[in-house]
């Protein structure tokens, strides 16, 4: 018999509506799974048992009354940089230890309005800065496929929870690949929508011109359903998109016949693990067999994406994280003057990677350097957007591996900060362009670790992106689950 924690969101929704089980049953199954797996993974920072119970009971009442909302009663996890009213929110930083926000972010409140059950808050690299979830002040998250490996990051807790069944779906944030790369490393589906599609109100800001909230799920239709629940203009976020929302799940069954698919030359060779490349190539061949018109596309400016990103992101982070000063929330270390208090608080509260990026950004924005660093990086961003625009004149979507490697070992890249930055070479360009992209699992490497396939689309091109993603999912037929998810579940 299938454990309820292993159901897709779609299947769980059908089961709830048919009366096969209740939302409380579903929550119990997910919490039982967490009770077994958390000792190995540390995907969660906080489990909101009381709040989840109340939400599940309310969902059961609504279900009994025939309420049709698709996420009603579905247990979901939120990355701990998404603020939740009354539930501790730390962004994995000491500086916010114990903080209970007085409000819900827009994504959280839309999910509550959709009847979802928020199980808890997941671990991340501190303030979402990192690619392995090792930069958490509360300890790393492990990969459910092999606990000696990282789950990717920064949304590693959300990805690990979904992979192992301690949530049916989750949300993360993606600034340079922080949803897609952990999805790739954990065998889950992760989507970064077009910049502005999901409100950033209540997302603890890292780099405001790049940050986007998006879903992580076990299937492409599930990811689409999650995203549909949170998109839309929000008066609380002046950068949220105020035009018509693109369709997301309308074309999931349409296949790829007649679509033009571009393979990104610069992400198809050296620097990418051979097994990852081979798996990617196989899927591309199948897409071609399925009727897609596959061509190779060069994006010359992508060569500069990583360098531009590591000027823009630290610059914006240094401004955003100025708010953590020991005055209004979080940690305070006493000092003789306010300035001394602030400097001591920030030294104590921020971890090394966050400190490094604040310093880098402060330097890049300081007098005399602003235009040379930030201004120039923003112009390079325009060059990159021009490359993408010209590519999308010829093809409907672009494809590449999501991550240059499968999951690496815990501790392998922590000594030199630069080596960690390369983990995002395939994902960063779409953040700079503001475009949507999704990672879909396509197989395992020889070590039994998942490989992800990335599909990129032009801004507001979610419909065709999910259309191709759904076909990739069908063609790859990836049904493996991590061993931790299939181990005998102990009933407490």
Partner 1 sequence: MCQASRDQFSGWGRKQSRDGVSERTGGSIYPMPVDIDIERVAHLARIALTDDELALYGEQLAHILEHAERVQALPTEGVEPTSHPLPMVNAFRPDVVTESLSRDEALAGAPDTQDGYFRVPKILDES
106, 62 Cβ separation under 8 angstroms: no
Task: Tell me which H or E stretch contains 14.
Answer: helix 9-18
| Minimum CB distance to partner 1 smaller for 107 or for 358 | 358
Residues with Cβ < 8 Å from 95, sequence gap 6 or more?
324, 330, 331, 345, 346, 348, 349, 350
CB of 53 to partner 1, least distance (A): 24
| Minimum CB distance to partner 1 smaller for 21 or for 233 | 233
Which residue is catalytic, options 131, 154, 249, 251? 154
Cα gap 52→438, rounded to integer Å: 29
CB of 471 to partner 1, least distance (A): 26
In sequence order, what E strands does 363-480 have?
A: 397-401, 437-444, 450-456
Cα gap 429→266, rounded to integer Å: 12
SS3 of 85, please? coil
| Minimum CB distance to partner 1 smaller for 249 or for 268 | 268
| Minimum CB distance to partner 1 smaller for 107 or for 425 | 425
CB of 375 to partner 1, least distance (A): 6
CB of 200 to partner 1, least distance (A): 12
Tell me the β-bridge partners of 294: 261
| Minimum CB distance to partner 1 smaller for 257 or for 327 | 327
Which residue is catalytic, options 131, 178, 184, 403? 178
CB of 475 to partner 1, least distance (A): 24
Residues with Cβ < 8 Å from 407, sequence gap 6 or more?
143, 145, 146, 149, 150, 151, 152, 185, 186, 449, 450
CB of 18 to partner 1, least distance (A): 39
Q: Is the peptide bond before 154 cis (omega within 30 degrees of 0)?
A: yes
Burial 248-268 (b: 16+ CB within 10 A, else e): bbebbebbbeebebbbbebbb
| Minimum CB distance to partner 1 smaller for 16 or for 420 | 420
Give catalytic status of residue 178 as yes or no: yes
Cα gap 223→180, rounded to integer Å: 12
Give catalytic status of residue 154 as yes or no: yes
79, 157 Cβ separation under 8 angstroms: yes
Residues with Cβ < 8 Å from 106, sequence gap 6 or more?
198, 199, 201, 202, 230, 234, 236, 237
| Minimum CB distance to partner 1 smaller for 421 or for 466 | 421
CB of 112 to partner 1, least distance (A): 17
Question: Which residues are catalytically annotated?
Answer: 79, 154, 178
């Amino acid at each position: 018999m299938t454990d309820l924690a292993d159901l897709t969101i779609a299947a769980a929704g059908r089961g709830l509506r048919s009366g096969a089980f209740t939302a409380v049953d579903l929550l119990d199954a997910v919490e039982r799974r967490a009770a077994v797996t958390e000792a190995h993974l540390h995907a969660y920072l906080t489990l909101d048992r009381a709040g989840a119970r109340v939400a599940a009971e309310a969902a059961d009442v609504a279900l009994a009354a025939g309420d049709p909302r698709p996420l009603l009663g579905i247990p979901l996890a939120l990355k701990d940089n998404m603020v939740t009213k009354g539930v501790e929110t730390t962004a994995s930083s000491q500086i916010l230890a114990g903080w209970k926000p007085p409000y819900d972010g827009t994504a959280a409140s839309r999910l509550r309005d959709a009847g979802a059950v928020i199980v808890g808050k997941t671990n991340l690299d501190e303030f979402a800065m990192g690619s392995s979830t090792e930069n958490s002040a509360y300890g790393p998250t492990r990969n459910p496929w092999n606990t000696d490996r990282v789950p990717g990051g920064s949304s590693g807790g959300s990805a690990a929870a979904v992979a192992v069944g301690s949530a049916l779906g989750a949300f993360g944030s993606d600034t340079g690949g922080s949803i897609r790369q952990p999805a790739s490393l954990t065998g889950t589906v992760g989507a970064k929508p077009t910049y502005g599609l999901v409100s950033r109100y209540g997302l603890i800001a890292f780099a405001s011109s790049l940050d986007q909230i998006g879903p992580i799920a076990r299937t492409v239709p599930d990811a689409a359903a999650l995203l549909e629940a949170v998109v839309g203009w929000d008066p609380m976020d002046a950068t949220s998109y105020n035009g018509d929302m693109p369709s997301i799940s309308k074309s999931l069954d349409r296949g790829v016949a007649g679509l033009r698919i571009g393979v990104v030359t610069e992400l198809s060779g050296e620097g990418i693990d051979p097994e990852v490349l081979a798996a990617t190539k196989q899927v591309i061949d199948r897409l071609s067999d399925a009727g897609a018109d596959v061509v190779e596309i060069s994006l010359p400016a992508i060569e500069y994406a990583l360098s531009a990103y590591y000027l823009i992101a630290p610059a914006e982070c240094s401004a955003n994280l100025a708010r953590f000063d020991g005055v209004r929330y979080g940690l305070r270390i006493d000092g003789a003057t306010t300035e001394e208090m602030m400097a001591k608080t920030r030294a104590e509260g921020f971890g090394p990677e966050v400190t490094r990026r604040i310093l880098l950004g402060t330097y890049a924005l300081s007098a005399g350097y602003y235009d040379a660093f930030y201004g120039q990086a923003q112009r390079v961003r325009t060059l990159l957007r021009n490359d993408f625009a010209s590519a999308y004149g010829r093809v409907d979507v672009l494809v590449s591996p999501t991550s240059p490697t499968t999951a690496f070992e815990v501790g392998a890249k922590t000594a030199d900060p630069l080596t960690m930055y390369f983990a995002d070479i395939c994902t960063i360009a779409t953040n700079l362009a503001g475009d949507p992209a999704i990672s879909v699992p396509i197989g395992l490497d020889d070590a039994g670790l998942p490989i992800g396939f990335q599909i990129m689309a032009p801004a507001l091109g979610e419909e065709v992106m999910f259309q191709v993603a759904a076909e990739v999912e069908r063609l790859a037929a990836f049904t493996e689950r991590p061993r931790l998810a299939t181990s005998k579940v102990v009933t407490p």
